[in-house]
Amino acid sequence: MPDSQPQPSPSGASPEQAAGSALLLCGARLTDGRTVDVRLGGGRIEAVGTAGSLTAAGNRCPATARVDLSGYLLLPAPAEPHAHSDTALSADAAGPLSYDRHEVQRRATEAALLQLAHGVTALRSHVHIGDVQGLGALAAVLRAGRSLRGLTELTTVAMPRVLTGIAGSDGLAILRDAVKMGASVVGGCPDADPDPTGYVEAVLEIAAEYDCPVDLHIDGSDPARLGRLAAMTGGLRPGVALGPCGGLADLPPDAAARAADQLAAAGVTVVCLPQGGCGSVDGRGTAPVRLLRAAGVRLAAGSGALRDVANAVGRGDPLEAAYLLASRYGLRAEDAYDAVSSSARGTLGLPEVRVEAGFPAELLAVRGDRLPGALSLAYSRIVVHRGRVVARTSAVREYCHSPVVAALDLPRQGRGELS
């Protein structure tokens, strides 16, 4: 079975290695087929050379820690653009969902570490504010984020329930307080407000006031409403994300195509949730990703619910999301992985990552030599954040002795690291 607990000091990296010290990744395979050494320092990629070139006598730094990545595929690290840290890991809890601050912080921290083990070095969490939880859940998730610094980056989206009418005045006040407290994105569910258009107008007003991004939960089953929202948010900077837009898949083809064109023209990002989303069982459709990409819509993929009431078996694994985009929805493996890595990072406002000198050292090494195989059986992983190995997951396969094993010329107890 895979050991999924993050290990900040895996074998091959010095336990004392600081974020700014040098690290050499040896013998890694890139998606273009090259086998390379990669030197990291100061949180960035310093050099990429053919295997062995950076360990030659003239290039060796005595203080450089080394990690052997023979048999691993080296990729830009994925990011999580749509998490729910305040409710994560609550599916097995007895009774009503607890918003006790210590409990929320514990669950949010554990959930982030689970996703870190999958390779996620940055995540955006939607957090409910107002009503029973007030600002308590947000404060707890923000504390979890501070405790995780150096391992992963956790940012938050403040989600008020109502922003219009008499009840909306309280929602507006608490949304402003949430931004002042540290929520870096404003959002919510317009369809839960009696006046969805007014809700969006209020969110956009506060986003402009505090110069922060917008991230809204939208089903997309009403093309007229989606078109109005796209027109309202078009061109907003620093940016707008909409998700999961699963209702688009249920529209007639012509209506879905028109909606996709409107989203593309507005320049918004659609965050789809191929692993099941974060809504009810009846609302777990996935946006028509091929249609959206063909229309030029910026597409990212997230995980949504992680073992809460909305999805009791959610894994929070970006490679699973990419696998589903490829196997179920027909994207090329490269495009599917882009949706959980480069596009997801762009949604979070993070700099681009490439395995090239000068780029941030946010990397994921997966056992395997080609991307399709890595998406299919990606058990063994090594995660690099800010130039430091922060998590390692390994798995071992064993076979008992049998005629089948003998016929395949495998060892009697064939121990081998799983992909």
Query: What does the pLDDT average to over 36-55?
Result: 94
pLDDT at 11 over 50: no
Q: Are 302 and 118 in contact (CB under 8 A)?
A: no
- Tens-digit pLDDT profile for residues 299-358: 999 999 999 988 899 999 999 999 999 999 999 999 999 999 999 999 999 999 999 999
Burial of 55 (0-12, 13-18, 19+ CB in 10 A): middle
**What pLDDT band is residue 412 in, cutting at 50, 70 and 90?**
very low
pTM of this structure: 0.90
Across residues 372-390, what is the average pLDDT? 92
| Weakest-pLDDT range from 161-170, 189-198, 255-264, 274-283 | 274-283
Q: Report the alpha-carbon angle 324-328-331, nearest 5.
A: 80
Structure token pair of residue 262: 């409107």
pLDDT tens figures, 46-90: 999 999 898 754 555 555 799 999 999 999 999 999 999 999 999
User: Is the model's pLDDT at 261 over the cut of 50?
Assistant: yes
Question: Are 246 and 259 in contact, with CB atoms under 8 Å apart?
Answer: no
> What value does the mean pLDDT take over residues 196-212?
95
Which among 257, 261, 235, 238 is positioned nearest to 248, based on CA atoms? 257
| pLDDT at residue 377, rounded to an integer | 76
Q: Can you tell me the mean pLDDT for 186-196?
A: 95
Domains by residue range for the chain, with CATH: 1-76+353-419 (2.30.40.10), 80-347 (3.20.20.140)
Find all residues with CB under 8 Å of 232, minimum gap 6, and list them.
Answer: 197, 200, 201, 204
Question: Which of 268, 267, 213, 265 is closest to 245 using CA atoms?
Answer: 268
- DSSP element (H, E) containing 399: none
Higher pLDDT, 5 or 61: 61
Residue 1 has pLDDT above 50, yes or no: no
Backbone φ and ψ of 352, nearest 5°: -65, 150
User: Which of 205-209, 233-237, 295-299 comes out lowest in average pLDDT?
Assistant: 233-237
> Given pLDDT bands bounded at 50, 70 and 90, which one contains residue 15?
very low
Question: How far is C-alpha 120 from the geometric centre of its chain's CA atoms?
Answer: 6
pLDDT for the residue 59: 56
Structure tokens at 234: 């078009």
SS3 content of the chain, % helix, strand, coil (to 5): 35, 25, 40
Contacts for 295 with CB less than 8 Å, ≥ 6 apart: 257, 260, 261, 263, 264
Answer with the residue of higher pLDDT: 239 or 392: 392
In the predicted structure, residue 18 carries a pLDDT above the cut 90: no
Question: 133: pLDDT confidence band, cut at 50, 70 and 90?
Answer: confident
Q: Give the chain's mean pLDDT.
A: 89
Q: Which burial class, exposed, middle or buried, applies to 399 when counting CB atoms under 10 A from its CB (0-12, 13-18, 19+)?
A: middle
Give the least confident one: 14-18, 200-204, 302-306: 14-18
190/26 Cα distance (integer angstroms): 49
Cis peptide before 411, with omega less than 30 degrees from 0?
A: no
Burial (CB count within 10 angstroms: exposed 0-12, middle 13-18, buried 19+), residue 400: exposed
Q: How far apart are CA 273 and CA 81, in angstroms?
A: 10
Q: What pLDDT is recorded for position 37?
A: 96
Quickly state the pLDDT bin for 169 (edges 50, 70, 90).
Answer: very high
Give helix 253-266 / helix 223-233 axis angle, nearest 10°: 10
